Chain A
Amino acid sequence: MNEPRKCLIIDDDEDDQEIFKMCLRTVNKDINCVGVFNGQEAIDMLKASDEYVPQHIFLDVNMPKMNGIECLRILRHIPELKNTKIFMYSTTSEKSVLEESMKLGAEKYIVKPAKTSELKKILSEILL
C-alpha cells in the first residue's frame, strides 16, 4: 500500500554516513536510506530518474567540489523534489550558513550531535 519512505544523505564523510544510517535504522527500520558522497553525484542521480523521489534529504555543508549551500540551491530548483524536505546536517553552526540555508528553502538546520541518542531524538521528531 504505502511505499516505504525514502531518504537520501549527501555527505563526503564515510563515518558520518554510517553513524547516520545506524541511528536511522534504530528509529525506523523501514526507511530506505541511500548515501551519496558529493553534491554533483546526488544531483545527477536525482535528475536522471523521475521515479526516485526521496521524502527527506540530509545535506552536509562542508564538502569539496560542491558545498551544501550550492547543492541546496540547485536541489530546490528541481521540480520533482518540490515536496521533499531538505535538512542541513553539518558540523558547522555558523549563523551566516544557517540563515543562508533557511533562505534557500531548507526545512531545518541540524548540527551533527556528538551523542547518538541526540541524533536519534532529532530523527524521530522529523520522521514522525
Chain B
Amino acid sequence: MNNHNSSSLKDSDILYKKVIEEIKDYAIILLDKNGIIRNWNKGAEKIKQYHEHEILGKHFSIFYLEEDLESNLPFKLLTEAKETGRAAQEGWRKRKDESKFWGSISITAIHDDAGNVISYCKVTKDLTEKKLVEDTLRSNEERYHRMIAEVEDYAIILLNPDGTIENWNAGAEKIKGYKSQDVLGKSFHIFYTEEDQVQGLPDKLLNIAKAQGKATHEGWRVRKDGTKFWGSVVITTLHNENRRIIGFSKVTRDLTQQKIAQEQLNVYTRELELQNSELEQFAYVASHDLQEPLRKIQTFTELIKENFEDKEFTTKYLNKLDSSAKRMSKLIKSLLEYSRLTKEKDEYNEAEVDLNSLVKDIKQDFELLIEEKNAIIDCDLLPSVTGNRTQLGQVFSNLISNSLKFAQVAPVIKIRSQIVPKSKIIGAPEYLSDFDYTYISVEDNGIGFEQKYSNLIFTLFQRLHGKNEYSGTGIGLALCKKIIENHNGFVSATGKLGKGATFHIYLPA
C-alpha cells in the first residue's frame, strides 16, 4: 500500500512538473530565497528568450530595466512577497535580445512546514500586445479630446440628459465668453435670450433631438457679457449600446458676421428695389400731377386769346394763368426736394442725433402756431438715434405741423418712445433687418383719417382733403416715409376718423 501511494505521489509529482514545464503562456520559474533562478519552463523561454542552460544560476533582476534596477524594484518585490506572501506588478521587462515586453508579474513566497521562506515562484504573462492596443487607444482618445478641446471655431459641448453642461471646449469659450468653470453643471438654458427661454425653446429643441436624433436651429444667443451672437446650432442625442440616452452633443457656430452680411445684402437689395419703384412713381407723378396745371395754362392762354378785347375777362384769366404757373413751380420744387433725398454716403451726414433737442427746436419754430391753437406737445424723454439731423428734423416737423393743422379742437400731441425687436413691429416689411428698433409714436387728437387710407397718405401728392379745406401739396408724408426708409427704418400710421391719428416711427437702435 505504501508503495502504491508513494508511486502515485511520484507520478503526480512528475505530472505536475511536466505541466509547469510545458506551459507556454506563462513563464513559471522558481527562485531560491536570494532570487537566483533555479527552475525554468517553456513559457519563460518563449517570453524571455533565454534557454534553460543560459539562465539557471543567474539572478532574476537580469530581466529588469535600468531604471527599475536603480530604484531597487526586484528587491522590493521579493521583500513584499516575503512579508505578505505575494507581490504583483505590471511593468516593462527586457528579453535576452534587449527588446522590451510588458509583463504582468506575480511572485509568491513558498514556505516550508516551519513557515520559513525556502523559495519564490515567479509567474509572468506577456501582455505587450494588449498594452500596445490600450496605449494606442488611450493616446487616440487623448488626441480626440484634444481635438475637440482645441477647436476654436465651433463650440462643442457635452450636455447631460437633463441639459446640464458636462464638457466645454475652447470654441465654446471663444464664442460664448464663459470659461469652463463658469458653466459646468449649469443648464444650457443660460445661452438663450429671455424671450426664447420664456417660450421654452431650449427644451423644445432637446425634445426634437430626442425624437429625431438631432435638432438644428439658427437664432440669437446670449454671451456671458450680455451681447448677442447669431448661432447655428446642432444638438445630437447620444446613446449607449442599449439605446439609452446618455446625453447630448451641442455644436454651435457663430454666424453673426454672415448674418450681418446677409442683412446688409438685404438692405442693398431693398434700396435697389426702392429706388426702382421710386423712379417709377416719380415718372408717373411728374407726368400726371404736372399735367393738370399745364393743361390749365394752355386752356387759359387759349381763352385769353379768344377774348383779348374783354379786359375784365383777360385780367381774371391772366391771374389764373399766374396761379397755375406758380402751382406748377411749387410742385416741381417739391418733386426735386423729394428726389434729392437719395442715400449717397458722401452727402449723408450721419451722426448721433439727440431727438429731445430736435423736438425742442421744432416747438420753437412753431411757437406762434402752438400758442394760436392752444396746443400742447407732451414729449417723453427720447433716446438718441444715428442719422441725418436735418432730415430727421424734417420728419418730426412735418408730423407736428400736420397734427397742428389737421385739428378741430385744441391739439394735444403725445410723443412716446421705447425699444422694440423687429418681431414686435406691426406690419413690418420683410426687408427690415432683424435687429432692435427705437420706436417713436406721435399721437394727436385731430381729425384723423379712415384706417383704409393708412397707406395712401404716404403716397406722393396724395391728399385726403380738397385744396379749399386744408392747405398743402401732399408731399409731407411722402417725404417722411422716404427719409425714414433712407435711415433703414419703417413708418406707418393708424387713424380714426374724427378721433385722431398716430404715426409710428421705427429707427434702428
Binding site for B on A (CB under 8 A): 12-13, 15-16, 19, 22, 37-38, 63-65, 91-92, 112-117
Contact = CB atoms under 8 A, between A and B. Distances in A.
Contact of A92 (B288, B294, B464, B465): B288
Q: Is the interface of B mostly helix, strand, loop or mixed?
A: helix
Nearest to B298: A114
A32 B465 CA distance: 29
B246 to A, nearest CB: 67
B466 A115 contact: no
| Residue among A63, A64, A117 having the largest count of chain B Cβ atoms under 10 Å | A64
A91 B292 contact: yes
Interface in B315-351: 320, 324
A115 B299 contact: yes
Contacts of B324: 15
A91 B295 contact: yes
A11 B446 CA distance: 27
A12 B466 contact: yes
A58 B225 CA distance: 70
Contacts of A115: 298-299, 302
| Residue among B292, B306, B463, B465 having the largest count of chain A Cβ atoms under 10 Å | B292
A11 B192 CA distance: 61
Contacts of B292: 13, 91
Contacts of B465: 64-65
Q: Is the interface of A mostly helix, strand, loop or mixed?
A: loop
Give the size range of B's interface with the partner. Answer: 20 to 34
A38 B466 CA distance: 9
B72 interface: no
Nearest to B292: A91
B466 A114 contact: no
B463 A64 contact: yes
Contacts of A91: 288, 291-292, 295
Interface string B272-301: 000000000000000010011011101100
B132 interface: no
Contacts of A117: 302
A64 B466 contact: yes
Contacts of B463: 64
The 3 A-B residue pairs whose C-beta atoms are closest, nearest first, are: A114-B298, A114-B295, A64-B466
B303 interface: yes
A103 to B, nearest CB: 21
A68 to B, nearest CB: 14
B310 to A, nearest CB: 12
Contacts of A65: 464-466
